Structure 1
Amino acid sequence: MTIVSDALASVDSFLPGLADKLSANSFIDNESEQSQIINWFKLSGGCKLMVKRSYGGRELTPWQGVLVQLGLGIYSPSLAIGAGMHQFSIATLQEMAKTSHGLESLLLEAIAKNDLLVSSAFSEGNTARSILQSQIVAKPSGKGFLITGTKKPCSLAHDMDLLTASVQVEPSDGEPYFAVALIHKENDGVNVESFWNASFLKASQSEAVHLDEVYVPHSMMVNVDEQSAYHAHISGFVWFELLTSASYLGMVYGLVEQADKHKRLSSEDKAAAYIKLDSSALALKAIAYDMNNQTQDTLAQVLACRYQLQEVLAQVMTQIIEKVGGINYIGNAYFSSIAQTIHAFNFHPPAKHSMLTPLASYYDNKPLIMV
């Protein structure tokens, strides 16, 4: 079985009925702002895929999770991005649950039981600011905190049930410290505003989520000590890069498949593209099979895979689009949309240019410092 066949079979197996719904609609309808793909993902059981069995979930292996993301990327770029955000949020919650005895376990059980969709407000990444320093602030108020800040873009903005947010707690006395807030979308002060003006990935619901003095009780705030916070960030980024890389890789697999269906590729063209894409998928597989204990080494490895993949996908996409030809590019919205979407891979944090110096230090056997 090829990697593409395995990915599509994984979607059929783990998300029953979803592929039929996606295939019954046009690409443009699935990718539109009014699309129902996120809701279909929920209805097909997607919310519990990566949740551990001890919490009532399916507990897919990391490689199975990668295959699902590849398959979703082939079917729908927007769904791959949205689903990847949920799975990354689940992975972060489960990482925190390893060292905490708080609400995370109960929350994970509720997510699996009720098919709750979780979005994330981590790593906002503003120019000249560290992606690890949250711009969302929590101030003590009564038996909880008032949280204020904005996450943009925030995928799943409309359909999310819960938002996990890294916050900087500013106590009335003492130094600020890092924590994670668990916020229900229906809380007063949670507002979604339009932000995504690009013509692609509209169905990922990547809008602006504003938190205006949202009250969060102590029970929904997870305090994380400095060492645990650092490890949670490392683990979170490993998962994020792995799932995001799989999503965009799936999109280019889909591009090759569509170009082949339009009879624009010779057998040599298709084989040459698949050699490059399969090599990248196997690199992700190596990372996925080494996910039991995420370390700086794991992060450096997955970043290397991701940055190399950016170049590979851009190269394959350009070669395939040339074979597709100008008439198909102009006349078929799928091809022009995919071409634009692939470029967005470069903008996910951390950007390559910001990590070259830290990685150079790492390759000189120094600690890897995130920026």
Structure 2
Amino acid sequence: MQFMEADNHTCDTLMPGLRKSLAVTSLSELESEQSGAISLFRVHGGPNLVVPVSYGGTGATALEAVRAVRALGAVAPSLTVATMMHHFSVGSLFGMAEVAGTPALEAALRRIAGQRMLVASGFAEGRVGQGILAPTMQARPVDGGFVINGVKKPCSLADSMDLLTASVALPAPDGSTDLGLALLAADVDGLTVHPFWSTFALAGAQSHEVRLNDVFVGAEEVLVPQPEVIEKLLELHGVGLIWFQMIICAAYTGIASRLVHQVLERSRGSVSDRAALAVRIESAAALTEGLALRVDSGDTANDTLARALVTRYAVQDAVVRSVGQAVELLGGMAYVSSCDVAYLAAAAQAIAFHPPSRTSTAEGLLGYFAGQPLLVG
């Protein structure tokens, strides 16, 4: 089997023609803010990758998803990083529909699948101290609905999103706040996008600031779960974190794999050097696939969340080391003759910046290894 053959085959099967369409464009153009990669992703069915078949989606398994994401990461890093947040948002929405579905949410989900909509994430998405459902926006009741205010930054897909999904804090009569879930059209009055991402790496992910300033939404557009349902929704916290770490691992393993593939293709370094490099990046892929198989088996309990964090940090180490070794083996002429090597090396480092950080989870992991349940955030 050739390097990444299973990943490329899975991607081509689930999103026919996408890799080929992306491959005819230079990396520098794909990674720019003006990139057309996200549009190609939509045309080739990418938005429906993890949408259930019952809603008209592709219905990829976790294993299929991580293989497809790795393959895309090796071709278009910014696209892959941007759309992993779409997959996260879509997965969260369909999970919520199972435990707190409403006719309005059901209709929205079918519209998302039918129109291949891109959904940006306004969830906390695993930030330290917050579950994925922790409110990131404030909602004020008015006649006929709510007025929402808040900011999300960075917000991937800010320029291309069709919908923004977010958790909102709803004031309760006793002065506390209740949880609400909002699904907002990108062109709603009061929603604006502002420049935020200033570095060249992953500029094509459109990770900018999204502001909601007195955005009115109808009452039917905000899901207000009953207290007994909220408990079930909170169980999605752990499931969301598992998927989040799994997709991060796949995306950045793919970015690093592009550099590894160049080393193998050009026969750089000794046979031992190349073999060691291939083994290291394939170990990262194997760890990610192992986690995906566990998810596909239906095991998303606390032990699997711990495995997800272990996998994430192990893959992070493997990616960073693989990139450094690949850059060295490719040599100085490859580095100075094209921006691609330096760009991929810089983009791959961003794996360290996705939450939760090692520091924030260290105490929880040590407690888990001492026999306690894993607590994150």
Aligned to 1:221: 222
C-alpha contact 2:122 2:136 (8 A) present in aligned 1: no
Rounded to whole Å, the distance in 2 between the matches of 1:248 and 1:79 is 12
Aligned to 1:252: 256
Structure 2 residue runs without a partner (length 5+): none
**Aligned amino acid, residue 144 of structure 2:** K
**Aligned amino acid, residue 117 of structure 1:** L
Give a deviation string over 1:74-123, Cα, whole Å, max 9, x none: 10110111221111111101111111131333222111111111110112
Q: 1:172–1:151: structure 2 CA closer, same or farther, 3 Å change rule?
A: same
Rounded to whole Å, the distance in 1 between the matches of 2:19 and 2:101 is 38
C-alpha contact 1:136 1:168 (8 A) present in aligned 2: yes
Aligned to 2:93: 93
1:284 deviates by 1.5
Give a deviation string over 1:41-81, Cα, whole Å, max 9, x none: 00001111211111111101110001110001110110111
C-alpha contact 2:126 2:241 (8 A) present in aligned 1: no
Aligned to 2:335: 329
**Aligned amino acid, residue 275 of structure 1:** V
**Aligned amino acid, residue 70 of structure 2:** L
Rounded to whole Å, the distance in 2 between the matches of 1:299 and 1:104 is 28
1:202 deviates by 0.8
Rounded to whole Å, the distance in 1 between the matches of 2:135 and 2:332 is 44
1:3 deviates by 6.2
C-alpha contact 1:70 1:251 (8 A) present in aligned 2: yes
Aligned to 1:305: 311
C-alpha contact 1:95 1:235 (8 A) present in aligned 2: no
Rounded to whole Å, the distance in 2 between the matches of 1:124 and 1:60 is 21
Is the aligned partner of 1:353 residue 2:359? yes
**Map of 1:1-371 to 2, 5 A cutoff?**
1-2=1-2, 4-102=4-102, 103-123=104-124, 130=130, 133-171=134-172, 173-224=174-225, 225=227, 226-291=230-295, 292-371=298-377
133-142 or 171-180, larger mean C-alpha shift: 171-180
Rounded to whole Å, the distance in 1 between the matches of 2:125 and 2:177 is 18
C-alpha contact 1:119 1:157 (8 A) present in aligned 2: yes
Q: 1:124–1:244: structure 2 CA closer, same or farther, 3 Å change rule?
A: closer
C-alpha contact 2:263 2:274 (8 A) present in aligned 1: no
14-23 or 203-212, larger mean C-alpha shift: 14-23
Give a deviation string over 1:13-37, Cα, whole Å, max 9, x none: 2222212221111110111110000
Q: 1:246–1:278: structure 2 CA closer, same or farther, 3 Å change rule?
A: same
**Aligned amino acid, residue 16 of structure 1:** P
Structure 1 residue runs without a partner (length 5+): none
Q: 1:7–1:348: structure 2 CA closer, same or farther, 3 Å change rule?
A: same
Q: How many residues align?
A: 370
Rounded to whole Å, the distance in 1 between the matches of 2:299 and 2:110 is 23
**Aligned amino acid, residue 31 of structure 2:** E
**SS of residue paired to 1:75:** coil
- TM-score, with structure 1 as normaliser: 0.94
Give a deviation string over 1:286-336, Cα, whole Å, max 9, x none: 211222242222211111100111111111111111112233223321111
C-alpha contact 1:164 1:180 (8 A) present in aligned 2: yes
- TM-score, with structure 2 as normaliser: 0.93
C-alpha contact 1:140 1:171 (8 A) present in aligned 2: no
Rounded to whole Å, the distance in 1 between the matches of 2:39 and 2:32 is 14
Rounded to whole Å, the distance in 2 between the matches of 1:9 and 1:349 is 30
**SS of residue paired to 1:84:** helix
**SS of residue paired to 2:164:** strand
Rounded to whole Å, the distance in 2 between the matches of 1:293 and 1:178 is 27
